Homo-oligomer: A and B are copies of this chain.
């Protein structure tokens, strides 16, 4: 399996002597989860009611700005939708705007496409399947909605499909979302529930598409694709706009704090969203290991050794451990730099 953030098992095997508990900054999952609530036993015991799934689709359409629940397909996590969505067009050329989340390339290849991934947006219009993560993970790059709609129109004329993964669009800029545009056809938008609501273990995600595609995706998963707990949390949390607005402000404030902290230690963020920050530095490998030895896991990238991604600390204790570890690393690093200079 490809490497992903979020595995403390992997962290422990890399850094056997690190102090516990781990501070996990390796994901873009909100550390402040939607408030947990008790579920009636029937939610676990009984098959999910079809009517409840319909209700979640309606709440999701509202929350994400789709024109009707007929544009929504439910899934136990967005991840499981990727190969299905890539199979909506017959095997051909898939072009992914990258670098980005690695699972898109894997899913497109699995669906039989020849896959290219690169930074050239204009190359996407020649593909049969174009995939854009917006905002992008891990660097936060935004593609304007107008550009995506032009791309979708070009693809549509040739029977192609545009997939926009809006896993981090909950923290904006929401005006660039294509959830309201899927009625034009040839567009599938993916939305993830677990990241912004901090409930990744629930497994809940959505595809927004034409009613025909949404129905096709639903049929492929069959009845009861989403668990009882995921239905109940989805209905409550997606309908709770007050929590969502307050959380967006909170995450923006914490992101500013993280940016200040990183900049103060000589590794300023050069992108990201309010759920993670992206850093580019020649010292990435050393910093990854220094933090790991202090029991702090950040995300590194095999193919891009100068990049790191920092998620948000969960609470004051974690902030202080991060600050302390960054200080130790900077002092050691600068000391080493000074010594190296003295030797010249």
Contacts and interface: CB of A to CB of B under 8 A. Distances in A.
A227 B229 contact: yes
Nearest to A52: B9
A313 interface: no
Given A50-B9, A76-B76, A229-B229, A45 B224 contact: no
Contacts of A317: none
Contacts of A219: 110
Most chain B beta-carbon contacts within 10 A, residue among A6, A9, A201:
A201
Interface string A109-142: 0100000000000000000000000000000000
Given A6-B47, A29-B45, A201 B221 contact: no
A79 interface: yes
A225 interface: yes
A227 B198 contact: no
Interface residues of A, number: 55
A285 interface: no
A222 B76 contact: no
A138 to B, nearest CB: 16
Contacts of A223: 1-2, 4, 79, 103
A225 B230 CA distance: 13
B225 A43 contact: no
Nearest to A230: B227
A290 interface: no
Task: Name the residue in A24, A27, A51, A107 with the highest tally of chain B Cβ atoms < 10 Å from its Cβ.
Answer: A51
A344 B289 CA distance: 94
A311 to B, nearest CB: 11
A200 B83 contact: no
B76 A9 contact: no
Contacts of A9: 49-51
A46 B220 CA distance: 27
Interface string A31-54: 101001000011111111111000
Interface in A6-35: 6-10, 24, 27, 29, 31, 33
A103 B46 CA distance: 19
A103 B76 CA distance: 19
16 contacts: A6-B46, A8-B49, A9-B51, A24-B46, A33-B41, A36-B41, A44-B229, A45-B201, A46-B201, A47-B200, A48-B203, A76-B225, A77-B225, A79-B225, A202-B229, A227-B229
Given A103-B222, A200-B224, A201-B227, 5 more contacts: A4-B223, A7-B51, A33-B44, A77-B225, A202-B227
